[in-house]
């Protein structure tokens, strides 16, 4: 039977519960343990697939096609373990499942209530990850303690302590210990109140993770311990990292949090192996070179909207022992002032995915700049479609070429709707989602990067390259270096005459880890590095 670790948060949101949960997972794995992670989100959307990136950030996609919270990306990157649709549940999913059961008569006429029916449903979702060989299940509870919508989840994990026995359940609470600059004092009262709210619910935290700007001295830790009923050795400080979020696990090791958890849950751990993680940090802290990469997107000002892309770029830098400066550029600004003034100093250009027509022409102009100026280029999802539109217009001479997503009357629909998507009415979970196989063309840059003839990559899109234009594109110098096994769908295109021009219909950023950078990001940064050196 697996042990259960629950991560909650208090005082304010955005304290880094996801990074904390991912770091715990990474450390337990480094001790030789098998770990599964999951996230519970208290909002009523069934999944984040239709949510605005300005509110929610990126939608992370799993191999089995689930549209999930971006924290699952942290889980995978820190542990190297794939997540699945069982790794993310929303309140909407929980309520939808319970109501569906009630409509079928599964409850045999019972009065359906929050307790026990909703809480039982939540507990059953936790236990789905209690699989053979799994030593620990880490479940992050979204939201903040005290939120009305989080109460059913907190009640469910309280019950888990009773159901499974306290030797098998551990509660980790992430909280804020603010520094009041005007008074020059660190204040523990918000943490006291947050832990107090948990106690009212019936949960006494085993570990307090204290987010803080200033180090916590023994006196402050003793105060927190006393008023929050937590052992002093379990009061762990988590200051802002200096360079990278990948430093967080080592902060916990320095405070022996990993050993505390292993002892508290009586886990049968091996020997701590941190060498791969130390190598990552050494590459980040001691780069031998630097490059600048421009990301031309629809949400240029939002870090979380392209979270996995920025992480994958950093991984490419790790692989090349190079510091990557990311220049975030709004595609609409490219439309307004032109690509030359915004991209002239970039050593590489990346155009990410997205939906809708806003900023599309700016992305297309960025592609044209990269192609004509021989700047290394990587296009992802919509980035491939923009590359196809740009090539059709400016190389193939197809005036007005476009995607039918943005122009239903285009004379040259080089990108068009998938046939099976034409009858889709609902927006949620209705795209081509999850991992699909791709056959790599021999001798291509794609094969040079992957070093294999076939891969499985994750998708999230409705529109595809229109096969009617394949021969024309090939006659003008494009190589379709990745195709579906039946050759009916274009997965990758590249321009061999260009120093490095590769675009993918899939999202390679979802399979990039610091310990195993994605091959395409590794080679993209390598090409950018070569350009920075005048090559």
- Residues recognised as catalytic: 381, 507, 509
Identify whether the C-beta of residue 380 lies closer than 8 Å to the C-beta of residue 521. Answer: no
Angle between helices 307-319 and 519-532 (to 10 degrees): 70
φ/ψ bin of 102: left (φ > 0), alpha (ψ from -120 to 50), beta (otherwise): alpha
CA dihedral 424, 430, 435, 441 (to 10 degrees): 30
N residues, the chain: 535
Closest CA to 390 of 433, 334, 337, 450: 334
Joined together, the tokens standing for residue 46 give: 């069934």
* Strand-strand pairing, 348-351 and 377-380: parallel
> What are the angstrom distances between the C-alpha of 149 and each of 125, 175, 403, 482?
17, 19, 41, 45
Identify whether the C-beta of residue 68 lies closer than 8 Å to the C-beta of residue 59. Answer: yes
Q: What does the alpha-carbon distance between residue 240 and residue 38 come to, in Å, rounded to a whole number?
A: 24
Q: What does the alpha-carbon distance between residue 506 and residue 460 come to, in Å, rounded to a whole number?
A: 7
Strand, coil or helix: 192: helix
Joined together, the tokens standing for residue 332 give: 């609409």
User: What is the Cα 372 distance to its own chain's centre?
Assistant: 32
Residue 310 neighbours by CB under 8 Å, 6+ apart: 295, 303, 326
Q: What does the alpha-carbon distance between residue 31 and residue 266 come to, in Å, rounded to a whole number?
A: 13
Residue 104 neighbours by CB under 8 Å, 6+ apart: none
- Strand intervals (E) in 468-522: 479-483, 490-494, 501-504
Q: What does the alpha-carbon distance between residue 339 and residue 361 come to, in Å, rounded to a whole number?
A: 11
Joined together, the tokens standing for residue 8 give: 């909650």
Q: What does the alpha-carbon distance between residue 137 and residue 189 come to, in Å, rounded to a whole number?
A: 31
Q: What does the alpha-carbon distance between residue 242 and residue 262 come to, in Å, rounded to a whole number?
A: 28
User: What is the Cα 209 distance to its own chain's centre?
Assistant: 22
Q: What does the alpha-carbon distance between residue 134 and residue 139 come to, in Å, rounded to a whole number?
A: 14
Identify whether the C-beta of residue 462 lies closer than 8 Å to the C-beta of residue 447. Answer: no
């Amino acid at each position: 039977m697996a042990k259960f670790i629950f991560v909650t948060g208090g005082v304010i949101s955005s304290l880094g519960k996801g990074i904390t949960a991912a770091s715990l997972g990474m450390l337990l794995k480094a001790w030789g343990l098998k770990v599964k992670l999951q996230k519970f989100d208290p909002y009523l959307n069934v999944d984040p697939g239709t949510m605005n990136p300005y509110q929610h950030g990126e939608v992370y996609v799993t191999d089995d096609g689930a549209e999930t919270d971006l924290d699952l990306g942290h889980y995978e990157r820190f542990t190297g373990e794939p997540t699945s649709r069982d790794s993310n549940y929303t309140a909407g999913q929980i309520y939808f499942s319970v109501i569906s059961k009630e409509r079928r008569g599964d409850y045999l006429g019972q009065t359906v209530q929050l307790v026990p029916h909703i809480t039982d449903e939540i507990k059953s979702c936790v236990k789905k990850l209690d699989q053979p060989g799994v030593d620990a299940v880490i479940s992050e509870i979204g939201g903040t303690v005290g939120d009305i919508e989080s109460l059913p989840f907190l009640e469910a994990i309280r019950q888990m302590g009773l159901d499974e026995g306290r030797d098998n359940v551990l509660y980790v609470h992430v909280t804020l210990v603010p520094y009041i600059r005007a008074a020059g004092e660190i204040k523990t009262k918000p943490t006291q109140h947050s832990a107090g709210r948990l106690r009212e619910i019936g949960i006494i935290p085993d570990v307090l993770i204290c987010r803080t700007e200033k180090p916590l001295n023994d006196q402050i830790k003793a105060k927190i311990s006393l008023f929050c009923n937590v052992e002093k050795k379990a009061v762990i400080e988590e200051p802002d990292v200096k360079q990278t979020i990948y430093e967080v696990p080592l902060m916990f090791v320095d405070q022996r949090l990993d050993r505390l958890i292993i002892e508290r849950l009586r886990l049968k751990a091996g020997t701590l192996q941190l060498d791969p993680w130390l190598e990552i940090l050494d590459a980040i802290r001691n780069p031998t070179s630097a490059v600048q990469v421009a990301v031309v997107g629809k949400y240029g000002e939002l870090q979380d909207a392209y979270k996995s892309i920025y992480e994958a770029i950093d991984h490419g830098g790790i692989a090349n022992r190079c510091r990557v400066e990311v220049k975030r550029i709004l595609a609409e600004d490219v439309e307004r002032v032109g690509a030359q003034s915004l991209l002239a100093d970039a050593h590489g250009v990346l155009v990410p995915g997205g939906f809708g027509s806003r900023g599309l022409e700016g992305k297309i102009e960025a592609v044209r700049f990269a192609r004509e100026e021989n700047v290394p280029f990587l296009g992802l999802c919509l980035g491939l479609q923009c590359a196809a539109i740009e090539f059709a217009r400016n190389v193939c001479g197809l005036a007005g070429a476009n995607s039918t997503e943005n122009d239903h009357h285009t004379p040259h629909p080089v990108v068009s709707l998938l046939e099976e998507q034409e009858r889709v009415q609902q927006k949620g979970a209705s795209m081509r989602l999850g991992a699909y196989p791709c056959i790599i063309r021999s001798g291509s840059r794609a094969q040079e990067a992957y070093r294999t003839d076939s891969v499985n990559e994750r998708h999230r899109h409705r529109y595809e390259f229109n096969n009617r234009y394949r021969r024309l594109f090939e006659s003008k110098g494009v190589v379709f270096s990745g195709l579906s096994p039946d050759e009916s769908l274009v997965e990758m295109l590249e321009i061999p005459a260009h120093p490095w021009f590769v675009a993918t219909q899939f999202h390679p950023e979802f399979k990039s880890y610091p310990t195993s950078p994605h091959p395409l990001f590794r080679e993209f940064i390598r090409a950018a590095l070569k350009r920075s050196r005048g090559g």
